[in-house]
Structure 1
Amino acid sequence: MTETKIALVGNPNVGKSTVFNKLTGLRQKAGNYPGITVEKKTGSFTYQHTKYQLIDLPGAYGIHPSSLDEEIVYEVLVDKNNPNHPELVVVVGDPFNLKRSALLYQQIREIGLPAIFVVNMIDEAERAGISIDVDRLEKVLSTKVVLTDARSGKGIDSLKAALQYKPNGYTPAFSIPDEYAAVTQQVKEQLAPANDYIAWLYLSQKRSKHLDATASSEISAIRQENQINYHRLQIHETMARHSTLDRQLANVLKDPAKKRENLTARLDDLLIHPVWGYVVFFALLMLIFQAIYTWSGPFMDAIDNAFAWLAASAGERLPDGPLNGLLTDGIIAGIGGIVIFIPQIAILFVFISLMEESGYMSRVVYLMDRWLRPFGLSGKSAVPLMSGAACAIPAVMSARTIENDKERLITILVTPFMTCSARLPIYIIIIGLVIPQERFWGLDLQGLVLFGMYVLGILAALGSAWVLKQLMKTDYKSFLILEMPTYKYPVVRNVLLNVWDKTMGFILGAGKIILAISVILWVLGSFGVDDRFTNAEDIVRTERPELSDEALENEVQSQQLEYSFLGTMGRFIEPAITPLGYDWKMGIGLISSFAAREVFVSTMATVYSLGGTDDELTIRERMASEINPNTGRPAYNFASGISLLLFYAFAMQCMSTIAIVRRETNSWKWTLIQLTFMTGFAYLAALMAYQLLK
């Protein structure tokens, strides 16, 4: 059986990924391109004794890169030594903008790659009154042309058959201008590219990463010597190609209704309206957050109960000892801590996929751009920031759609400031302890404080973004150039495949780190060398003989935690957290909740001798009566409570988010800068609050 490597290329929003999904089904995998974090999708299928390896390259408008996505396309197609360099290219075209798709096709052919041309969304085009003369288009492009509607599967079999077509010789549509002929020849002589057009590309690109330092220096020297501005070369080529294609496609495409009043135009009158557009968008956000909170609840409870049952069953079947604790409280609990996030992630990505598939996401970007730009962000940052109100993990992952490196990095670094659902249990408990149940202007004061915590998260994110904008100087000025695709009915299959990819990416990517740290926390909390740890039960029986069996068990558990390695760490950091109004017990909560903020609740339950229950009322009552041994005052007074609220509002305290940030930035440097800044900012805010209010 022979094997052929194929690249799928096309402009954004032409249905390229739908074609990819139809061809490969579930026989696909996601990864990253080497050295960067743009997602790479590959798949395979077999047709007539030939196995095809298919790579879905990012959407691109042309070979001249203006984004990281387009830079990948350029490098893969031009560099013959690139591991993803194809033997055949399938260019997916848009019947609503055939000239732009044909321009990309011409550039690919002139690189020297064989290619076939697919006109997708043909059913939609026919309904709009557009017709294409396939025979004439084949003559213009000198290749096989296939009409498809990948959403319904129409034409996919014809596309598979066309993959065996061998394109004949191709006459370049673009000729090197006479004034640049000599300098292009100079590049050919020094670098020996495959043809004239690749020599032209070397001159007209800002950089070609696959060239070594010597070759790059030679090109820079040639440009400087001949006073060449690479942008001018790109503009010259684009204008020449448009002029040629206008003539070539004149009798190929018939669109008698270019000014038609269609559904897209009518919907846009509402959805990008300067007033109603924002009303609809924020109503949709409310729906998304309500769905994430309410729809995920039963699934998360079921997962929680399933892992509790699994841990209990394993604990009953294994003899008492370290192995039992490691499996039930470490490994099973760690895996449960990964899996329990799946419902929230899946629901969020269902909505994001629906917005992308329908074409609405581009409208969101357009609406938010002018509001976010003063903070160093753009409209494409809106989705990650809003998603962060549910969970920072999928929110950070969704920043992949931002092409500008600076904006994408700033978005990733500030998104964890947004108030996520994991902070909510802490806020509810602490606010209930330190804020009186009073009404302010007819509104519940505790509810107003809770709302204020959400506003505080937004202000922290935008303020940090503004600071980063000032510090991260760049010579690249960002502009939002946006295509508004026509609205489409989402394809359920594509939505489910996208949700599956993103969910599995989270489990496999961050899961290993989460599991490892969960086990480490269990070890630290389950072992100790102090005599009061090893002989805790005997000591408690001697000191507190009046305790019932249940109270005795709780007291032993609390003392063992205090003198475990984790408790020792809590007492070790006590001098650092005392100025914030915290004691060593709260220090344990800070350490253990590094795994996940919501762990603070169960940790406090254990510390305060409440066993493993998470009953908030019981915890609140016990916490309300707790006395700080350092001050002699209630541990949770107004000053320490506000201090704790501010600490959790600003601190990272989420190892899964750290893991995702590391993966998405592909850098420990930025991950550690983010962790240090957020922790330091949280500490200073909590310190100032306690010292001013105590």
Structure 2
Amino acid sequence: MKSKPVIALIGNPNSGKSSLFNELTGLRQKVGNFPGVTVDKKSGTAFLNETTEITVVDLPGVYSIYPKSADEQVVTDILANPAHPDYPDVAVVVVDASNLSRNLLLFSQIRDLGVPLILALNMLDIARQQQLEINAVRLSMQLGVPVVNINARVGEGLDLLKRAMEQQLAQPVWAETLFFDPEQAGTTGNADVPGLISDVRRQYRLTNNYLALQYVIQHDGFSFLNDPQRVGLDRLIEKYHFNELEFQTKETIERYQRIGRVVKEVVTDKRPLDQPTWSQRIDRILLHPVWGYAIFGTILLLIFQAIFAWAQPFMDGIDEGVAWLNGTLHESLPEGPLTNLLTDGVIAGIGGVVVFIPQIAFLFFLVSLLEESGYMSRVMVLMDRIMRQFGLNGRSVVPLISGVACAVPAIMTTRSISSWRERLITILVTPLMSCSARLPIYTILIALVVPEKTVLGFLNLQGIVLMGMYLLGLVAALMAAYVFKKIVKARERGLFIMELPTYKWPRWNHVGITVWDSVKSFIWQAGRVILAISIVLWVLASYGPGDSMEQAENQARRHYASRPAEEVESHVASEKLEASYAGRFGKILEPVIKPLGYDWKIGIALISSFAAREVFVGTIATIYSIGASDAENDSTIRQKLASETNPDTGGPMYTPAVAFSLLVFYVFAMMCMSTIATVYRETKGWKWPLIQLAYMSVLAYVSAFLVYELLK
């Protein structure tokens, strides 16, 4: 039972549907999965007036109700099933007014399913720039549904749209006749279409001819039908000699013929013939086979330069603030296990990741600008030429670029790839893209061993190295895809079709929402894991079997009795840590990672970061806080790492060889349980997740070993 009316937003990709969703719901949004389907569901609440609250559902963008991927299947699965919890009381079809003919195909199909509709004419400003004028009143009369002019980017027309929603909820207006009535469309080949539809309507108690036709064509994809029902529909198809592909072709042609007549009645086109738009003129440069790649590379370089340059002051402030808070609590709170747990466990662990929020915020801010402007769609088209050589296509760029944020939602976006083979290969290589969880590791290690100086007078050397880590992940992803291209056999030929949106100025409120959601998600997901692991680590690192901790302390005090008191305390803390449960576990692991230049402390961090990569920094911060004297507890994370000594050489632990070995290890290592679980869910088995874990682990270990041997 629905507690609130459901309004579904439906439209073609790049029609402005998501912009309208953001304008209606603001920050009252949540992301989950559609019931029974692992496809992202964006929903939120909005108020039509002071008393009427509605649930707004942003359905995946589709070009027609005939799906070619898992996320597109969701739309038809909902619209064909009134019992679905997300079935809309009213559907708002958002159309790009500058390309009305193509957008009206989807509208006409949904209209014929019998869903109460509102047509939202969006991007009218772009249509006017192209010298197109649309008569909304005449269009409403032609289509038989309410038509509202809006500008979703700036919220224009929202009041009129809400009023139309109220009216449709109170007294729905339906078109009297179907846009395309399959029963009246005549015969196709030898098929008796009217007889088939009549049988389906009678057996499934349907009142809508077009919905009955969808039961016939899409019954294998409808989740609400059981196996006996599917078998029954197959028998009816055979009985009436129905050819699905032939009928869909006939339907599409006839729909476009009627759409053409409607558009001719309502659109006035004043464009001179063969005059390119300003977007097309810009595309001649940005999609150029040479300059296009050069410009994209330059944009990436500027992004990584900005991440270091802009975020550094904020990071320094947070880092020093965490160190000050830790020192203050140590001084003001009574000594004891609870104080140590709070300072050395919780604050040290969480503080080790919170410090990187500015960089993550700037990364999402800049990527959001590219998406908002329309440039990211050009990147997909541009990269399709390269991706084809590696067994992928242009749509694979979306998961790969999304992987810079997080591999989990990035892998889910592969559902838009129609080819099973290309989708699988994309899933297997996406975790090689450096996600935001790796950013804290990259930042702290690069800052330790790469000097903060400029190259060519304006390029930050640390930013260049950071970009190198991301490019290394991309190159590895392409190479791995090429290998899988030879292994995984094709079931079908993949196609890449992408409509390029016009260029637009970013909407700052939408950019802000994107950054806020991303940072909030990072804090919430990473914070929970780090808090739990920090507490467990503190316990394991603060206690040991039997009286081993006391023996380690007594031995250290005897051995370093002649040294200054502060140095004695530092050695005592280090020896006790080594004798703890965590230290003993790290010692067991040490022989395996010693060839990479790592000690047992780094080993503990490697194991803990299997929960989530960003836990590495939090673990290191916790371990070094526990293994430090009270005098060192007010040091920043970077200072603690810089002062760590190698017991074998007596020099710094984090030499360039060790730091770059760790950097390369984390570029390639899977190290994320959530990603493994997502791959299992998307591939419906353990075969591919285990293959993925194995090849990435071997690649990480061998690469880290070679880097260490080369640089040591």
Answer yes or no: is 1:233 the counterpart of 2:247. Answer: yes
Q: Which of the numbers 688, 699, 704 marks the counterpart of 1:681?
A: 699
Instruction: Kindly tell me the number of residue pairs found equivalent between the two proteins.
Output: 672
Paired-residue identity, %: 42
Q: Which stretch has the larger CA shift, 365-374 or 24-33?
A: 24-33
User: Any idea what the Cα deviations from partners look like across 1:150-194, whole Å, max 9, x if unmatched?
Assistant: 333332211111121431442002122423223333433443344
Q: Partners in 2 of 1:431 and 1:125 — Cα distance?
A: 51
Offset of residue 692 of structure 1: 11
1:101-120 alignment runs, 5 A limit: 101-120=103-122
Q: Partners in 1 of 2:105 and 2:308 — Cα distance?
A: 46
Offset of residue 496 of structure 1: 1.4
Q: Which of the numbers 242, 246, 252 marks the counterpart of 2:256?
A: 242
Offset of residue 396 of structure 1: 5.5
Kept in 2, the 8 Å contact 1:593–1:599? The answer is no
Q: Partners in 2 of 1:51 and 1:447 — Cα distance?
A: 47
Q: CA 1:577–1:276 in structure 2 vs 1: closer, same or farther (change >3 Å)?
A: closer
Kept in 2, the 8 Å contact 1:604–1:619? The answer is no
Q: Partners in 2 of 1:135 and 1:451 — Cα distance?
A: 53
Q: Partners in 2 of 1:27 and 1:641 — Cα distance?
A: 42
Offset of residue 92 of structure 1: 1.3
Secondary structure at the counterpart of residue 264 of structure 2:
coil
In the alignment, which residue of structure 2 is the partner of 1:520?
536
Match of 1:502, as an amino acid?
S
Kept in 2, the 8 Å contact 1:24–1:44? The answer is yes
Q: CA 1:676–1:194 in structure 2 vs 1: closer, same or farther (change >3 Å)?
A: farther
Kept in 2, the 8 Å contact 1:92–1:118? The answer is yes
Match of 1:170, as an amino acid?
E
Kept in 1, the 8 Å contact 2:41–2:57? The answer is no
Match of 1:626, as an amino acid?
D
Q: Partners in 1 of 2:349 and 2:638 — Cα distance?
A: 23
Offset of residue 523 of structure 1: 2.4
Q: Partners in 2 of 1:346 and 1:364 — Cα distance?
A: 22
Kept in 1, the 8 Å contact 2:353–2:618? The answer is no
Kept in 1, the 8 Å contact 2:395–2:417? The answer is no
User: Any idea what the Cα deviations from partners look like across 1:462-481, whole Å, max 9, x if unmatched?
Assistant: 22223444555563432110
Kept in 2, the 8 Å contact 1:592–1:603? The answer is no
Q: Partners in 2 of 1:329 and 1:379 — Cα distance?
A: 47
| CA RMSD across the alignment | 3.9
In the alignment, which residue of structure 2 is the partner of 1:174?
180
Answer yes or no: is 1:351 the counterpart of 2:366. Answer: yes
User: Any idea what the Cα deviations from partners look like across 1:412-442, whole Å, max 9, x if unmatched?
Assistant: 543443465424654676899xxxxxxxxxx
Kept in 2, the 8 Å contact 1:573–1:584? The answer is yes
Q: Partners in 2 of 1:222 and 1:294 — Cα distance?
A: 66
Q: Partners in 2 of 1:149 and 1:449 — Cα distance?
A: 42
Q: Which of the numbers 357, 369, 380 marks the counterpart of 1:365?
A: 380
Relative contact order higher in (CA < 8 Å, ≥ 6 apart): 2
Q: Which of the numbers 154, 159, 162 marks the counterpart of 1:160?
A: 162
Match of 1:475, as an amino acid?
R
Offset of residue 369 of structure 1: 0.8
Kept in 2, the 8 Å contact 1:570–1:591? The answer is no
Offset of residue 603 of structure 1: 7.8
In the alignment, which residue of structure 1 is the partner of 2:458?
none
Answer yes or no: is 1:626 the counterpart of 2:632. Answer: no
In the alignment, which residue of structure 1 is the partner of 2:233?
219
Q: Partners in 2 of 1:344 and 1:187 — Cα distance?
A: 58
In the alignment, which residue of structure 2 is the partner of 1:282?
297
Q: CA 1:497–1:170 in structure 2 vs 1: closer, same or farther (change >3 Å)?
A: farther
Q: Partners in 1 of 2:320 and 2:654 — Cα distance?
A: 31
Answer yes or no: is 1:253 the counterpart of 2:271. Answer: no
1:345-494 alignment runs, 5 A limit: 345-382=360-397, 385=400, 392-394=404-406, 397-398=409-410, 401-402=413-414, 403-404=416-417, 407=422, 410-411=425-426, 413-418=428-433, 421=439, 422-423=441-442, 425-426=444-445, 456-473=472-489, 475-494=491-510
User: Any idea what the Cα deviations from partners look like across 1:284-315, whole Å, max 9, x if unmatched?
Assistant: 11111112222222223333333333333444
Answer yes or no: is 1:651 the counterpart of 2:676. Answer: no
Offset of residue 202 of structure 1: 2.1
Q: Partners in 1 of 2:331 and 2:426 — Cα distance?
A: 47
Offset of residue 252 of structure 1: 1.0
Q: Partners in 1 of 2:163 and 2:393 — Cα distance?
A: 43
Answer yes or no: is 1:298 the counterpart of 2:313. Answer: yes
Q: CA 1:131–1:652 in structure 2 vs 1: closer, same or farther (change >3 Å)?
A: same
Q: TM-score, normalised by structure 1?
A: 0.85
Match of 2:648, as an amino acid?
E
In the alignment, which residue of structure 1 is the partner of 2:590?
574
Secondary structure at the counterpart of residue 47 of structure 1:
coil
In the alignment, which residue of structure 2 is the partner of 1:23?
24
Q: CA 1:327–1:475 in structure 2 vs 1: closer, same or farther (change >3 Å)?
A: same
Q: Which of the numbers 189, 193, 197 marks the counterpart of 1:184?
A: 197
User: Any idea what the Cα deviations from partners look like across 1:576-606, whole Å, max 9, x if unmatched?
Assistant: 4456666545534544565534468758967
Gap runs ≥5 in structure 1:
433-444
Q: CA 1:508–1:663 in structure 2 vs 1: closer, same or farther (change >3 Å)?
A: farther
Q: TM-score, normalised by structure 2?
A: 0.83
Q: Partners in 1 of 2:470 and 2:371 — Cα distance?
A: 27
Match of 1:11, as an amino acid?
N
Q: CA 1:353–1:675 in structure 2 vs 1: closer, same or farther (change >3 Å)?
A: same
User: Any idea what the Cα deviations from partners look like across 1:325-377, whole Å, max 9, x if unmatched?
Assistant: 22223233343345334323322222222222221111110000121223233
Q: Partners in 2 of 1:503 and 1:355 — Cα distance?
A: 18
Q: CA 1:553–1:230 in structure 2 vs 1: closer, same or farther (change >3 Å)?
A: farther
Offset of residue 81 of structure 1: 1.6
In the alignment, which residue of structure 1 is the partner of 2:84?
82
User: Any idea what the Cα deviations from partners look like across 1:25-77, whole Å, max 9, x if unmatched?
Assistant: 33333323233142423222132643222212121211111233321211121
Kept in 2, the 8 Å contact 1:601–1:614? The answer is no
Q: Partners in 1 of 2:640 and 2:122 — Cα distance?
A: 61
Kept in 2, the 8 Å contact 1:586–1:604? The answer is no
User: Any idea what the Cα deviations from partners look like across 1:610-642, whole Å, max 9, x if unmatched?
Assistant: 9565787996787567249xxxx9999999898
Q: Which of the numbers 203, 210, 226 marks the counterpart of 1:197?
A: 210
Kept in 1, the 8 Å contact 2:668–2:700? The answer is yes
Q: Partners in 2 of 1:508 and 1:618 — Cα distance?
A: 26
Kept in 2, the 8 Å contact 1:326–1:519? The answer is yes
1:494-509 alignment runs, 5 A limit: 494-509=510-525
Q: CA 1:619–1:335 in structure 2 vs 1: closer, same or farther (change >3 Å)?
A: closer
Q: Partners in 2 of 1:48 and 1:301 — Cα distance?
A: 46
In the alignment, which residue of structure 2 is the partner of 1:587?
603
1:126-137 alignment runs, 5 A limit: 126-137=128-139
Q: Partners in 2 of 1:641 and 1:348 — Cα distance?
A: 23
Q: CA 1:310–1:545 in structure 2 vs 1: closer, same or farther (change >3 Å)?
A: closer
Q: CA 1:54–1:323 in structure 2 vs 1: closer, same or farther (change >3 Å)?
A: same
Offset of residue 551 of structure 1: 1.0
Secondary structure at the counterpart of residue 377 of structure 1:
coil
Q: Partners in 2 of 1:310 and 1:616 — Cα distance?
A: 16
User: Any idea what the Cα deviations from partners look like across 1:191-230, whole Å, max 9, x if unmatched?
Assistant: 3344221121122225212212222233344445656553
Q: Partners in 1 of 2:622 and 2:479 — Cα distance?
A: 32
Q: CA 1:679–1:560 in structure 2 vs 1: closer, same or farther (change >3 Å)?
A: farther
Offset of residue 126 of structure 1: 2.6
Answer yes or no: is 1:140 the counterpart of 2:162. Answer: no
Q: Which stretch has the larger CA shift, 80-89 or 187-196?
A: 187-196
Secondary structure at the counterpart of residue 333 of structure 1:
helix
Q: CA 1:19–1:414 in structure 2 vs 1: closer, same or farther (change >3 Å)?
A: same
Q: CA 1:168–1:32 in structure 2 vs 1: closer, same or farther (change >3 Å)?
A: closer
